[in-house]
Structure 1
Amino acid sequence: MPQPATYTIPPRLKRTVRPERVATPGVDGAARAPEAFWRGVEAGGTPVVGGDDGTGHRTVTFLWRGGDELADVVLVANKIADADSCEHNRMERVPGTDVWHLTYRMRDDWRASYTVAPVPADGAPAPEGALSATTRLRRERALAVADPEDRPAVARWFDALAHAVPDPLARERLDATASVVSLPGAPPELWRPSGGRVCAARTEGEAPAGAGTVTAARLTGAALGNTRTVWVHRPAQAPPDGTPWPVVVLLDGQDWHTLPLAPLLDGLIADGTLPPALTVMVDSLDPATRTRELACDDAFVDFLGHELLPWLGDRHDVASDPGRTLVAGQSLGGLTALYAAHRAPHRFGRVLSQSGSFWWPNVAVAGGESERMAGLVAGADTVPGRVHLSAGLNEWALLDANRRLRDALAARGAELGREPGSVVLTEYNGGHDRACWRAGLPDGLVFLTSDWERRGR
């Protein structure tokens, strides 16, 4: 009998199209004068991006500095590099220099987080604990579903990942563990101070003028038997005319709180892009708990609807209208966001799903069943008032499932009299990636809350 966790292993689909590798521009200069080459790179940052070639594509050159102490250097770009493509993502070394390089030809709107894995020539192992708990779980899952002849390559890939670090010359960082490449045509980021909307980060009791507050609390779920942190962002501006607060429930809340999300929300609410709303960021605890709870788990949905929202209502005057209660998530969280609205339509009427795992459950261990959520939607008595889906063009394991789910929601919504356009799917040039999710979150929130009252209207 399969263990429940095996149902959350994505289907084993190999990439059929890989990014085009091309010759690295300017590499001859690196061979002639490596020090001058590196001075130029350091001045501009990495990766080195070429001009539009007239077809909407650019060269993107990734670099690493190292000598004979390295046996290999592997680029680990989100959903571009994987265990099946290690050879395709190995950098080349300019002979006699410390210049390692790899160049892709990519569409102008590509965005991805990435790391670089310099593999030592002496075979020294990576520091103990170099792989995160999530990556160790991915390794176990990948080996579990790999064909026997592919397992050594999968193991070598994860051994390389243990050496992966951020690019020290990158212009952008995702966090302390990864860098980001954003080509000029990628959707604009509102997270950077240069965007003009992001307020300074702050702690409760030290908020600058116009900033809201973030309150952390520990909440025990009787239905789940565990205790987690939730962070509640309350903006400085309240809903107009004393109306109750609308609510946004954001899964994997620890990632959004750490970003931090609150300053962005303050800026978007202040300029009228978003309405005043309470945003509740829900911690997902550890990878094993997350895997269990964010896979259409009825106990977790009961926790959200029967424990979290009443707890919030005891502390704030919150709306009871499901059309003013939004649940949002990414990956398995995106699946659960829609499942929560399906199971509790009287509580959740708006859904934001980024890279939702709508392939779930894994067909190989579920008796041939897959894409359960689309089947549930097709026979549902109701569907959410609005749904915003997004998925990356490089997410080959779930893009088509998101498209089919969008069609199922639109068809059932039409049968039930929903307005045309109540469900949308945005496809972006990226992968299963927090760098893409943080860029796309505001657009999803704007669509789902466009009929909530803004200040100044």
Structure 2
Amino acid sequence: MTISVQPDLRSPALRTFVADSAADQAAALQRLRDELSASGGPLIEEDGSGATLVTFVYIGPAAESVAVDSHAVMSRDTGDRALMTQVPGTEVWYQSIVTEYDELEVSYRFLVDSRTALFNVEQIESSTRTAESLNAYALDRQLAFRDDPFNQDRMMLDGKQLFEENRAVLGDATDLVRWENILTLPKGRTNQALIARARTRETTLTEHRIWSETFGDERTVSVHVPSDQYDGPYSVFFLLDGPGGIALGLPALMDELTERGEIRPTVTVYVHNKDFWSRSVEMVCNPQLVDQYAGELLPWVREHYDVSESAADVAVSGGSYGGLGSSWLAYSRPDLFGNVLSMSGSYWWGMKGAWGNNDADSTVYGIEDEPEWLTRQFAAAERSAVRFYIAAGKLESQHLDGGISLLAANRHLRTVLQAKGYDVHFDEYHGGHDRAGWRGALIAGLRYLLPAR
């Protein structure tokens, strides 16, 4: 997938703005705002060579630096990126990319005066190896975060949820709700009507606090049940990193897909993390995760809701470490978890000393001397009846320590599972490591794994 960042001013609309600003900057700025509103955010123009020119535009008060935070602007090998360019004498900043793929769908945000805005993959991983450093990184991103007011396709990021069990890290910050925008090029808009209709729906979730003997603390789960018009027993869909699924609108999408007769009535369990760091400990092929889901959460769901007893009606899902954790659950207990919907799963995990990690007790990057630990376990084990929907973005090709990329690791897991005879659907979508691609993967994966009977 070819995307190139363009350092020069190539956008016809921005060139017109620059020329007109000399005579009347206020009027030129208003015309630019009107064009951004009409475009729905970034300017989408012809490149002149048959490719598409996409220009991200930020308009805001004085700042030292502004950057686009998106997989779309990262280099394909290292994840390097560049700052936006300011139009001299104005509050307008821009960055352009050229792509030949009209299916592109990626999340983006603007980062204003962020110390971590230009971190590449190696810098991100090597600087977030502990709870303290990860929280500092996340807080910098959260406070520097600005949305695109011209783009109404957006998903909420609530910092209070992100740090809900560790409010001390928030300092004096109060307003932590942010909106992450979605860039979707014309051929990537296959779900737009469904998404638009789902946004008009009202949904109800019930929040519970459940004591975990496994972890010795209380955990939050938010549960969404189908309408009363459907008879049970229902299927069960567990979502690791549950608040992320709620924020991208999954409850309403589940209702819409069920009402359309595309998926069967399903109780969805959105499992909250203890804190931001806990996922880096619990989802990395940790036996305690299996104990929690198999011994605590699934029995609790079956006690309180009219759900199926069959593993074929139970699906687990997550993104990144959550994808790894989902496959780990199904590998460990295929008798309970019969379906995996994995999004950008961290199947590179396995190499303990990756990115300079020298903490003998840390498993954040692995437990052995090479990557792809879970894939090797599937290769060595007998095949089970678990079905897989594995999705990863074409832009997730950055080199990771150990000679692997996330995309290559997902392709490798797919190939191993297929060779073992598993039912596997592989979705290599036109996007990156973000919730834009994951939203589409959730819709397609639910249709594949839990179709209406």
Q: Shorter-chain TM-score: what band?
A: 0.7 to 0.9
Instruction: Describe the shift of the 1:387–1:116 C-alpha distance in structure 2 as closer, same or farther (beyond 3 A).
Output: same
Match of 1:425 in 2: 426
Match of 2:337 in 1: 348
Match of 1:228 in 2: 219
Match of 1:410 in 2: 418
Match of 2:258 in 1: 269
Match of 2:34 in 1: 43
Q: Secondary structure at the match of 2:270?
A: strand
Query: Distance in 1 between the 2:195 and 2:179 partners?
Result: 21
Query: Distance in 2 between the 1:116 and 1:296 partners?
Result: 34
CA apart distance, 1:308 = 1.0
What is the TM-score when the length of structure 1 is the normalising length? 0.77
Is the CA contact (8 Å cut-off) linking 1:239 and 1:277 kept in structure 2? no
Match of 2:167 in 1: none
Paired AA for residue 19 in structure 1:
S
Match of 1:361 in 2: 350
Instruction: Describe the shift of the 1:53–1:340 C-alpha distance in structure 2 as closer, same or farther (beyond 3 A).
Output: farther
Query: Distance in 2 between the 1:315 and 1:227 partners?
Result: 18
Is the CA contact (8 Å cut-off) linking 2:226 and 2:266 kept in structure 1? yes
Q: Secondary structure at the match of 1:348?
A: coil
Q: Trace 1:151-166 onto structure 2 (pairs within 5 A).
A: 163-166=144-147
Q: Per-residue displacement from partner, 1:146-174 (whole Å, max 9, x unpaired)? A: xxxxxxxxx99997885331123334322
Counterpart pick for 1:174 among 155, 162, 166: 155
CA apart distance, 1:296 = 0.8
Is the CA contact (8 Å cut-off) linking 1:93 and 1:99 kept in structure 2? yes
CA apart distance, 1:85 = 6.2
Match of 1:337 in 2: 326
Equivalent residues, number: 393
Instruction: Describe the shift of the 1:429–1:236 C-alpha distance in structure 2 as closer, same or farther (beyond 3 A).
Output: same
Query: Distance in 1 between the 2:229 and 2:141 partners?
Result: 50
Query: Distance in 2 between the 1:318 and 1:233 partners?
Result: 13
Q: Secondary structure at the match of 1:217?
A: strand
Match of 1:142 in 2: 126
Query: Distance in 2 between the 1:254 and 1:401 partners?
Result: 26
CA apart distance, 1:52 = 7.7
Paired AA for residue 43 in structure 2:
V
Q: Within the alignment, does 1:184 sit opposite 2:168 as a pair? A: no
Q: Secondary structure at the match of 1:89?
A: coil
CA apart distance, 1:51 = 4.0
Match of 1:95 in 2: 88
Is the CA contact (8 Å cut-off) linking 2:199 and 2:249 kept in structure 1? no
Q: Trace 1:290-329 onto structure 2 (pairs within 5 A).
A: 290-329=279-318
Query: Distance in 2 between the 1:118 and 1:330 partners?
Result: 26
Q: Per-residue displacement from partner, 1:79-134 (whole Å, max 9, x unpaired)? A: 63489666x53222333444322211122111222222344xxxxxx7xxx999xx
Query: Distance in 1 between the 2:222 and 2:139 partners?
Result: 34
Is the CA contact (8 Å cut-off) linking 1:342 and 1:384 kept in structure 2? no
Counterpart pick for 2:4 among 13, 19, 23: 19
Q: Secondary structure at the match of 1:287?
A: coil
CA apart distance, 1:200 = 2.2
Query: Distance in 2 between the 1:157 and 1:280 partners?
Result: 25
CA apart distance, 1:17 = 7.8
Paired AA for residue 207 in structure 2:
A
Paired AA for residue 318 in structure 1:
V
CA apart distance, 1:316 = 2.2
Query: Distance in 1 between the 2:42 and 2:210 partners?
Result: 43
Query: Distance in 2 between the 1:71 and 1:30 partners?
Result: 22
RMSD: 3.3
Match of 2:206 in 1: 215
Instruction: Describe the shift of the 1:238–1:333 C-alpha distance in structure 2 as closer, same or farther (beyond 3 A).
Output: farther
Return 5+ residue gaps in structure 2 as ranges: 130-135, 157-177, 355-366, 398-404
Is the CA contact (8 Å cut-off) linking 2:394 and 2:429 kept in structure 1? yes
Q: Secondary structure at the match of 2:188?
A: coil
Match of 2:371 in 1: 370
Q: Trace 1:251-290 onto structure 2 (pairs within 5 A).
A: 251-290=240-279
Match of 1:399 in 2: 407
Counterpart pick for 2:73 among 69, 80, 89: 80
Match of 2:59 in 1: 65
Paired AA for residue 405 in structure 1:
L
Instruction: Describe the shift of the 1:66–1:249 C-alpha distance in structure 2 as closer, same or farther (beyond 3 A).
Output: closer
Q: Per-residue displacement from partner, 1:195-253 (whole Å, max 9, x unpaired)? A: x34442244xxxxxxxxxx322111111221211112211115655xx52221111111
